[in-house]
Amino acid sequence: MTAVPIVIISTSTFTRSGIQQITAQSEGRIQIAAMFGNFSEADAYLKAHQARALIIDDSLPKGVNLVKELKKLIEAHPGLAVIMITQRPTISLVRLMLNLGTRAILHRDDDLDHTLNQAVHLAVAGGTTISPQVSQLLEHQPALPKAIDQRDIDVLQLLTDGLRAKEIAAQLSIDRRVVYRIIQKVSTVYDAQNIAQLVRIIEQRKLLPPRKE
């Protein structure tokens, strides 16, 4: 069986090494053609070389608009099967990636040793893989107050994960000013005096996706 050539985009040396170790278990069925730390270098490579699949890890340079860059790559290289490995998925982001044509969305904390290689082959064949933790996130659909929508909750989720407004904006593919407006709006809805109090209120009302223990 001919090996599936893949390209990896990740700034994390640890992640690249981990993916190499996992794909080595495929017994030659998957071949890492190249690895890059940013989208522009990967795009240049893909214009000159053939690859069947692209694995993207979300440990990317701060401020990178993931959805925008992913859309450009998919449009420039039709037929390329995209596999996303994410540490901070949000419902809005997952939906956007699926709408763009991403073939697999895997949570970094799921059992990648047993799912990544299978996801690559299924993606190349036209199938879709959603790992357990990402599926759990999508299934968590709490009833939201009338004034609050899912994007607002996504902003709060990333805020509690320690991301700054610029990073949240890039992650969700929205303007930074929108992030500030959302924080102000939700603070007003729940009469929160500061970010810490706002987060406590949101968690008490169980509006954020459950965290893995």
| Model pLDDT for residues 148-177, shown as the tens digit of each residue | 888 888 888 888 887 888 888 888 878 889
In the chain, where the domains are located: 4-137, 140-204
- Residue 47, judged by CB atoms within 10 A of its CB (0-12, 13-18, 19+), counts as exposed
Is domain 4-137 in CATH 3.40.50.300, yes or no?
A: no
| Model pLDDT for residues 106-118, shown as the tens digit of each residue | 999 899 998 999 9
Rounded Cα gap, residues 14 and 177, in angstroms: 34
Assigned CATH class of 140-204:
mainly alpha
pLDDT at 158: 87
